[in-house]
Amino acid sequence: MAVMRAVSKRGVALVLFAPLLLVVVLLTGAGCAPRRGSAASAEPAAAGRADAPALQPEGVALPCPPDTSPSPALAPAVRDGTAAYEAGRYQDALRLLESADADGSADGIALYRMGYCYSVQGEKARAQETYERARKALEEKEESSAATLEDNFYLVNVLLNQGRNSEAKAAADRALEAIETCAVRVSPGGTASFRVGKLYGDAGKMDRQAAWYHRALAEFAKEPNPPVAYINRAASAVAAFELSKGAWKVAIPELERLHGLYPSDSDIPLSLFIAQLHTGDFDGAGKSVALLRTAGGK
């Protein structure tokens, strides 16, 4: 699955296979299965259950107070289309966003979402045409100094979707400079923290991305209906980053979170098994072997 392929490429490839094979032998041949009643015999952590690791304050500190101003009111078609888009109902979203485009109420973000809906339906030409319109609208807003964090986030996304990678990095750098100098302020909550984290990642600053994704995951855990797609992406990136550093203990909660989201993906318990091996959690490693069997080698 794509979720853990990213983790495997960035982190798991660094793991030495000799200790892995040793523990496989120990677990399967020398009686080191999880003990009944041990902590490792509990159910695997569901999405969002694991406590987030302690944040590094310097990684998420900003010199300005959060933006607590209310979000601007959206035109009804944009509002309803956005809700459908965020719920993954892309056909409904497309119908509503096309209506907003027809009456002139669609802004750059709405056009980006409309383009994405076209891409989901396989209409590549219409998607690229709409992405180009979104790019122009978002760049005009950035040039007017009226761009918000959300505008900057979607400008970088649309540039990436157009294959303009160097321009996307430059846009991410500009957005981060605006954030760090308080020209653009960050609202409270997991979604805003996720977007800041992604901008750091798009700018190539992976340590800052991980710090902001840690913050986003901690905030999502307190929210009633957090966006699952953002949780998935943040947890995957954090796990990959921590595995690449050999920070096995820090990676484990995010791997458990991912397993709760994708229980049939065998790459996740494999990565979890390796991390538990390196922390000496043999009971947990035995549990992960059982999860691998359940996943059926998918």
In order along its 298 residues, the chain shows pLDDT tens digits of: 445 444 544 444 434 333 444 444 344 443 333 333 333 333 333 333 334 444 444 567 777 888 888 888 899 999 999 999 999 999 999 999 999 999 999 999 999 999 999 999 999 999 999 999 999 999 999 999 999 999 999 999 999 999 999 999 999 999 999 999 999 999 999 999 999 999 999 999 999 999 999 999 999 999 999 998 899 899 889 888 888 888 788 888 888 877 787 787 777 887 878 888 888 887 887 887 777 777 654 4
Residue 250 and residue 218 share a domain: yes
Query: Among 62, 46, 53, 157, which residue's Cα sits nearest to residue 111?
Result: 157
Q: Which two tokens stand for residue 65?
A: 């107070």
CA–chain centroid gap for 81, Å, is 22
CA-based R_g, the chain, Å: 21
**DSSP label at residue 225:** S
Distance (Å, whole) CA 256 – CA 58? 26
254 assigned to some structural domain: yes
- 158 and 89 in a single domain? The answer is yes
Whether 286 is covered by a domain: the verdict is: yes
Say if residue 36 is in the same domain as residue 80. no
Residues 15 and 37 in one domain: yes
Spatial contact of 162 and 128, defined as CB atoms under 8 Å apart? yes
Enumerate residues 6+ apart whose C-beta is below 8 A from 154.
108, 109, 112, 134, 138
Which one of 137, 164, 182 terminates a domain?
182
Q: Specify if 109 maps to a domain.
A: yes
Q: Tell me which of 124, 149, 182 is where a domain ends.
A: 182
Q: Are residues 262 and 162 in the same domain?
A: no
Q: Write out the residue range of the structural domain in which residue 94 sits.
A: 72-182
Alpha-carbon gap, residue 91 to 96, rounded angstroms = 9
Same domain, 24 and 172: no
Q: Is residue 36 domain-resident? A: yes
173 and 77 together in one domain: yes
CATH of the domain at 42: 1.25.40
* Total domain count, the chain: 2
Whether residue 67 lies inside any domain: the answer is no
Same domain, 84 and 37: no
> Where is the domain boundary, 156, 182, 208?
182
What pLDDT sits at residue 91? 97
Per-residue model confidence (pLDDT) at position 41: 32
Identify whether 121 is part of a domain.
yes
Q: Does residue 235 sit within a domain?
A: yes
My answer on whether 137 and 175 are in the same domain is yes
CATH code of the domain containing 134:
1.25.40.10
How far apart CA 216 and CA 236 sit, in angstroms, is 13
Q: Which amino acid type is present at position 182?
A: C
Question: How is residue 36 written in tokens?
Answer: 């009944």
Residue 142 lies in a domain: yes
Count CB neighbours of 179 within 10 A: 21
